[in-house]
Amino acid sequence: MKPTPISVVVTTYKRDQLLQECLASLAAQDLALGDVVVVDDGGQGTARAVVEACGPAFRYIQQPNAGMQAARNTGIANAYGDWIAFLDDDDLWQPWRHRQLQSIVKHTQAPVISTDFVKFVDDVDHQETVYEEIARRNPGFFDGLRVDPDKEFTPAQHFPLERMIDVHPFWPSSLVLSREALQDLGGWDVALKGVRCEDIDFVFRALSRFPIVIGWRPSLRYRSHAGNNAGDSLENLKGHIFIWQRLLDREPIPSALRLAVQTILIKKRHQLLWQAFRQGDHQTVASAYAALRDCDLSWLERAKALVSRIRWRQMERRDAGRTS
């Protein structure tokens, strides 16, 4: 049977060496890919040679810097396939990933696919996959989905959205969507340029509308390094809070789920206040405190907010003195 057309959209920005490794993993697929679109989001054009060296299936598109969301949308608009797989320029496909995706597309009807993956540092893979880690830390997270442990993927099912409010297993490089689903979603939200954890918005909107197939065989390698900011907990907290509050304000969310999101937001704002105070980010402490005014605050949190307010004003006066 002729393979289903699957395009891979790779976004890149001034990381030619990582991009070369990324594209090499695509070129090494045991079932050849027919279309790889690499979108250079504001780079200097040096990525073109990296892309063209990979063969005719690899196409290079350059655009002014507009953010990874806009770059992904550009890739979608220029891709040939009926299905679009996303890949960041620092991540790698295992040699069997394209064959795995073809099998999933052939045997299921879900317009959204995500597969398990492993993190790696300096080319050494973690022993535990990401989904295994999530299941260990959050017992019951995948309950009801893996109906047959001998199968490599689930049947198409609607994922329980309340489970992903505080746990986010579906990362951009693990995602594959049908073109029809992407058109229905309107692609990635370009208004979220620069917002950390922006993919939560896209995944929530997708899973609110469509069932998902989860592939259990890890076929993606996610690179952990300083450049992807995976360990910046303060900025990640800010991103989580911003995205979930925005979804509450913009999306028609059922009341029970809305309450669950609001509860998690309170928890995260408490975490943000403490983390920001530890890092000396007094402006963030003040904003977190203001957002929690209607909620119960401990005396210690109130004290931290007061100290931060004083220090923030001292810093403002000092800065004003320097510029006068």
Instruction: Give 195-245 pLDDT, tens digit per residue.
Output: 988 999 999 999 999 999 999 999 999 998 665 555 568 888 998 999 999
Asked whether residue 106 carries a pLDDT value surpassing 70, the answer given is yes
d(CA 120, CA 22): 14
**Is 139 part of a structural domain of the chain?**
yes
Top pLDDT among 302 and 51 is at: 51
Of 195, 213, 228, the residue that ends a domain is 228
**Is 1 part of a structural domain of the chain?**
no
Asked whether residue 293 carries a pLDDT value surpassing 80, the answer given is no
Distance in angstroms between the alpha carbons of the first and the last residue of the chain: 74
Asked whether residue 279 carries a pLDDT value surpassing 80, the answer given is yes
**Looking at the structure, do residues 85 and 55 belong to the same domain, yes or no?**
yes
d(CA 50, CA 13): 13
pLDDT at position 314? 73
Highest mean pLDDT among 19-28, 190-199, 273-282: 19-28
For helices 255-278 and 282-291, give the axis angle rounded to 10 degrees. Answer: 150
CATH number of the domain within which 172 lies: 3.90.550.10
d(CA 124, CA 144): 32
For the stretch 10-54, pLDDT in tens is 999 999 999 999 999 999 999 999 999 999 999 888 999 999 999
**Looking at the structure, do residues 133 and 254 belong to the same domain, yes or no?**
no
**Looking at the structure, do residues 238 and 202 belong to the same domain, yes or no?**
no
Spatial CB neighbours of 76, under 8 Å, sequence gap ≥ 6: 9, 84, 179, 182, 187
**Looking at the structure, do residues 72 and 208 belong to the same domain, yes or no?**
yes
**Looking at the structure, do residues 27 and 93 belong to the same domain, yes or no?**
yes
Spatial CB neighbours of 192, under 8 Å, sequence gap ≥ 6: 67, 69, 198, 201, 243
* Strand 83-88 to 212-223 pairing: unpaired
Tokens standing for residue 201: 């918005």
Of 185, 209, 228, the residue that ends a domain is 228
Of 228, 251, 278, the residue that ends a domain is 228
Top pLDDT among 318 and 93 is at: 93
Q: What average pLDDT score do residues 131-141 get?
A: 93
Top pLDDT among 115 and 2 is at: 115
**Looking at the structure, do residues 127 and 274 belong to the same domain, yes or no?**
no
Top pLDDT among 1 and 268 is at: 268
Q: What average pLDDT score do residues 288-293 get?
A: 82
**Looking at the structure, do residues 80 and 221 belong to the same domain, yes or no?**
yes
> What Å distances lie between residue 66 and 40, 92, 197, CA to CA?
10, 24, 17
**Is 124 part of a structural domain of the chain?**
yes
Domain encompassing residue 284: 233-323
User: pLDDT averaged over the chain?
Assistant: 89
Q: What average pLDDT score do residues 288-292 get?
A: 84
* Strand 58-63 to 92-93 pairing: unpaired
Asked whether residue 191 carries a pLDDT value surpassing 80, the answer given is yes
d(CA 73, CA 19): 19
Asked whether residue 263 carries a pLDDT value surpassing 80, the answer given is yes
- Structurally, the chain folds into a number of domains equal to 2
Confidence of residue 322 (pLDDT cuts 50, 70, 90): low
Top pLDDT among 63 and 152 is at: 63
**Looking at the structure, do residues 171 and 198 belong to the same domain, yes or no?**
yes
pLDDT at position 4? 73
**Looking at the structure, do residues 111 and 201 belong to the same domain, yes or no?**
yes
